[in-house]
Amino acid sequence: MPSIRFRRPSLALGAALLIAAPALAQTYDGDWAGALSAGGQTLHLELHIKTEGGTSSAVLDSLDQGATIPSTAVKTDGGELSVLFLPIGGEFKAKLSADGKTLDGTWSQGATMPLVMTRKAPAASK
Structure pTM? 0.76
Residues 79-123: tens digit of each pLDDT: 899 999 999 999 999 999 989 999 999 999 999 999 999 999 876
Looking at the DSSP assignment, which residues form a beta bridge with residue 31? 48
Residues 8-20: tens digit of each pLDDT: 443 343 333 333 3
Show me where the domains of the chain are located. 29-119
Closest CA to 26 of 94, 79, 105, 84: 79
**How far is 106 from 80, CA to CA, in rounded Å?**
12
Quote the CATH superfamily of domain 29-119.
Quinohemoprotein amine dehydrogenase alpha subunit, domain 2 (2.40.128.120)
Residue 66 CB partners (closer than 8 Å, separation 6+): none
DSSP 116: E
Closest CA to 101 of 26, 22, 21: 26
